[in-house]
Amino acid sequence: MQTFLINTFLLASVGVTFEIIFTSITTFSRKRDQSFKGYSYLWMLPIYALVYPTLTLLWPFIHDWLFLLRGLLYIILIYIAEYSTGWLLRQMLGKCPWEKDYIGKQWAINGLIRLDYAPAWFITALLFEYLYLFLRFK
C-alpha cells in the first residue's frame, strides 16, 4: 500500500511538472516571453493523482493493445477526467481554474477541455504509461 501511495504521488508530481513545462512552451510560442514562465494549479495534484490508480486498473486489460489504440483510449479518459473535474471545480469554486486558457478557443468545449490538445495528451499519456510500467515492475 505504501508503494502504491508513493507511486501515485510521484506520477501526480510528474503530471504537474509536465503541465508547467507545457504552459512554459506555449506561453513562449504565443508571447515570445523568453522567461519561459510556466504554471499549474494546486488542484492539479489530486487530479493527476488519478493516473496511477487508473493505469493499475486498466493495464491488465489493455497491455497487449497496440500503442495507438492505448493512446486513443487514454485521450478519451483524459478528456472525461478533465471535463468532469473542471465541471466539479466550477460547481465548487464558481469557475474552473483553467477555463481562462480555454474559453473562446476554437476547439474548446465549455471552457473545460480543448480538443486541439489531443496530440499533446497522446504523447503525455504514453509517457505516463512508460513511467507507470517503470515504477510498477521495477
pLDDT digits 0-9 by tens, 60-114: 999 999 999 999 999 999 999 999 999 999 999 999 999 988 988 899 999 999 9
Share of the chain above pLDDT 70, in %: 100
- Look at residues 120, 23, 127 and name the one whose alpha carbon lies nearest to residue 79: 120
HSE (CB half, 13 Å, CA atoms) of 66?
Answer: 3
Whole-prediction pTM: 0.91
Helices marked H in the chain — which ranges?
Answer: 2-31, 44-48, 51-62, 67-93, 99-102, 118-137
The pLDDT of 30-45, averaged and rounded, is: 87
